Chains A and B, each alone.
Chain A
Amino acid sequence: MSTAPPDADELSRRAGEFLAAHDPAATEPLEFLRARFDAGLAWVHYPEGLGGLGAPRHLQPAVDRRFAEAGAPTNHPERNGIGLGMAAPTILAFGTEEQKRRFLRPLWTGEELWCQLFSEPGAGSDLAALATRAVRDGDAWTVNGQKVWTSMAHEARWAILVTRTDPGVPKHRGMTYFVCDMTAPGVEVRPLRQITGEAEFNEVFLTDVRIPDEHRLGEVGQGWRVSTTTLMNERVAIGGSAAPRESGMIGVVAALWRDRPELRTPGLHDALLRAWVETEAARLTGARLRQQLTAGEPGPEGSGAKLAFAKLNQEVSGLELELLGEEGLRYDDWTMRRPTEVDFTRRSPGYRYLRAKGNSIEGGTSEILRNIIAERVLGLPGEIRVDKDVAWKDLPR
């Protein structure tokens, strides 16, 4: 176990060997993905046996590129953002050995998709106010409550779930975190239509749902700590992506600008260049964040990246509609669909504009992220708290 973690050259050598042994064109995709996981080339900074090789985290993009160039099958990250970005790092940090072995491989290969049962009608930004109850019952827990805005719950096999287990203590102390089986009796998923017309998120009703104690993540009462890990990772996952230059929203608008000279105006040229520069700055910042994360876990710094991402996506998608002029007046489809993935670039400009409005709300609103940066990074005084030492059951709701 004393061997040094592999460096870029070693990873590249191993990826080459793997690709030589598993011809992407001739291997069945699922078999390929499982083998890639087992070879430690899935997320290279994870431990051996759990999809990784204990390598520095920033070496991941090069490995991914290598596989993409070889035409390797993907695990469709656009379908399992919550699993890959949030559930996996949380399970890695807090899971038992058994939990890690059970959940991480099918999560990474995309065999099992995940969703996040955090927000409730009465608890959004103030996540620790949540009311979903979990009561111990022998080797299991009985869960009752309602979650809301649950993205992709209609697709998910598993969920990360936070509950209230002790209403008699202040809110942050009485929470417990679980892995919830979405096929368990008592889990009911109802589509919730949104601004774009479709239902990407849902309401989830939990009625006497039984969760075995082995599916608890972290200690009883430690749910807030575990959730914080999830949320920090969520922000890095959203803001710290390794996309190449001029990809995503700015790529779409830049291509439009090049292809349609008749749409150009001087004012929009200036706005486009400003957005291009900001996007490039955000991309480099994400790269720097990943380089910084080589060793440690994400801290509040990820919040800045997420904040910038939301602002840019909204700005650029709005710019696209203006650039399109008359075409921008039209929308592709208001049908109430239940999508299986979020992919900005494959839908219409109107969809992009509307969907981007969620970027400053999902995964922590921009206001909450500013509070986090102000208080935890800059050390400014916290908000005046009226709920800190009050038992959860005595809080006004």
Chain B
Amino acid sequence: MSDLLYGEIENDLRASVREVLGDRAPWASVLAGTERDEPCDAALWRTVAGELGCAGLPVPEELGGAGATWRETAVVMEELGRSAAPVPFLSSAVIATAALLAAGERELLAGLAAGERIAVLAVPFSAAPGDVRTTVEAADGTLTGEVTSVADGMAAEVLLVPAGDGLYAVDAADARRTAATSLDMTRRLADLAFSAAPARRVAEGTGAVRAALRTGAALLASEQLGLAERCLDDTVAYVKTRYQFGRPVGSYQGLKHRLADLWTSITQARAVARHAASCVAADDADTPIAVAVAQAHCSAVAVKAAEECVQMHGGIGFTWEHPAHLFLKRAKADAIALGTPDRHRAALASLVDLPPA
């Protein structure tokens, strides 16, 4: 059984990330950022990825990283989930980094690990770990085709594009990019088009893409956990202070029991997310099952937490000037991202030999 607790280093890391995000990404500024026409919060990204060294956590020291593991990275994901901070951490520091690690591509990796460059894997954000079909053709060192709904596609400097017989790196300036209006205002999507864009092959076959999507799905569970915890914390604090009928609304059993159920689901999400992160960190044989379970489970918990947060805040929870909607949008988008719960259950069915009807 993997270690499902947090170590001292992880607790310290959490504390410093939380402090920085508390200062630099309070929800009011996250909300204000959604009104601006910027693909992400670049200054915050430099702090989290570069100064705090979070982007290089899973990268071995000889490749320019910190030589920690995906477990520590998962703690950063939890904190980013708590704040819904608009930084391309999942797309660049997790998914693209995992692809480059699998490809053994040193030069790009060092830039990513240092937080100096942003790269994204050019697949729809909804792609599940097994989805390796590609809509881009490779010929004579150039790429042609289109990819839609790429997370942080506008923020990226390097696009890692699955095409033909492998994975290619393309300079973002050589692609035509269109920003999409995204359900999750804090993680924006872009549509990409390539017409004979110069490309360099960084990996053969589909292994790197599979590894990247699987690692992304595993760590997304930690983001969902952090988001759910944030929603629960905010809601508990609110129902203690909001009075109706002469009592705090949190003294009504109808709400207390739902919050207790939510807490119970979140304790489960924590065990499941830690297990998934530990499995990818150790490249455990259990990883595919752990990831499918984590996504099927944590997606639902995060959405439930955000929905309960909106509901238990009443009218305030429905207003733009309250953070609940930032989390609801992120939670619902996360549930679709990297495979819906249904897709993950279908994957699980074959992994554990429970064939369909």
Chain A interface residues (CB < 8 Å from chain B): 246, 254, 257-258, 261, 264-266, 268-270, 272-274, 276-278, 280-282, 284-285, 287-288, 291-292, 301, 304, 307-308, 367, 369-375, 377-384
Contacts and interface: CB of A to CB of B under 8 A. Distances in A.
A381 B250 contact: yes
Given A258-B354, A278-B297, A281-B297, A288 B274 contact: yes
Contacts of B247: 381
A252 to B, nearest CB: 13
A273 B348 contact: yes
Nearest to A377: B263
Interface in B338-357: 342, 345-346, 348-349, 352-357
Contacts of A371: 253, 256-257, 260
Contacts of A268: 357
Contacts of A291: 3-5
A269 B296 contact: no
Interface in B158-200: none
B260 A288 contact: no
A272 to B, nearest CB: 6
B259 A380 contact: yes
Contacts of A265: 357
Contact of A304 (B239, B267, B274, B342): B267
Most chain A CB neighbours (cut-off 10 Å) among B257, B345, B357: B357
A277 B250 CA distance: 31
Contacts of A277: 292-293, 296-297, 345, 348
Contacts of B264: 304, 307-308, 373
Given A273-B296, A301-B267, A304-B267, 12 more contacts: A246-B352, A273-B348, A280-B289, A284-B272, A284-B275, A285-B271, A304-B263, A367-B253, A370-B253, A373-B263, A374-B259, A377-B260
B271 to A, nearest CB: 4
Contacts of B289: 280
Nearest to A371: B256
A282 B240 contact: no
A-B pairs, 6 with minimum CB distance: A374-B256, A381-B251, A373-B260, A370-B260, A264-B357, A284-B271
B206 interface: no
Contacts of A266: 356-357
A370 B354 CA distance: 33
B78 to A, nearest CB: 15
B69 interface: no
B352 A276 contact: yes
Interface of B: 1, 3-5, 236, 239-240, 247-248, 250-251, 253, 256-257, 259-261, 263-264, 267-272, 274-275, 289, 292-293, 296-297, 342, 345-346, 348-349, 352-357
A255 to B, nearest CB: 10
Contact of B239 (A261, A273, A370, A380): A380
The SS class assigned to the A binding surface is: helix
A374 B5 contact: no
A192 to B, nearest CB: 29
Given A281-B293, A381-B250, A273 B4 contact: no
A381 B267 contact: no
Contacts of B267: 285, 288, 301, 304
Contact of A287 (B1, B251, B256): B1
B272 A374 contact: no
B268 A381 contact: no
A288 B270 contact: yes
A381 B240 contact: yes
Nearest to A266: B357
Contact of A280 (B248, B250, B293, B355): B293
B257 A380 contact: no
A380 B357 contact: no
19 contacts: A257-B354, A258-B353, A273-B349, A277-B296, A284-B4, A284-B274, A285-B267, A288-B4, A288-B270, A304-B267, A304-B268, A369-B260, A370-B257, A374-B256, A374-B259, A377-B263, A378-B259, A380-B251, A381-B250
Given A284-B4, A287-B1, A379-B240, A269 B357 contact: yes
Given A258-B354, A367-B257, A380-B240, A288 B271 contact: yes
B74 to A, nearest CB: 14
Given A304-B264, A371-B253, A273 B5 contact: no
Given A269-B349, A277-B297, A381-B247, A264 B271 contact: no
Contacts of A372: 260
Contact of A378 (B260, B270, B345): B260
A312 to B, nearest CB: 11
Contacts of A258: 353-355
Contacts of B239: 380
Contacts of B268: 281-282, 284-285, 304, 308
A374 B260 CA distance: 5
A269 B348 contact: no
A281 B236 contact: no
A288 B270 CA distance: 9
B257 A281 contact: no
Nearest to A282: B268
Given A278-B297, A378-B263, A381-B250, A288 B354 contact: no
A292 B4 CA distance: 9
A285 B273 CA distance: 10
A319 B349 CA distance: 17
Most chain B CB neighbours (cut-off 10 Å) among A268, A269, A308, A380: A380
B129 to A, nearest CB: 16
Nearest to B258: A370
B4 A287 contact: yes
B356 A281 contact: no
A72 to B, nearest CB: 21
Nearest to B250: A380
Contacts of A369: 260
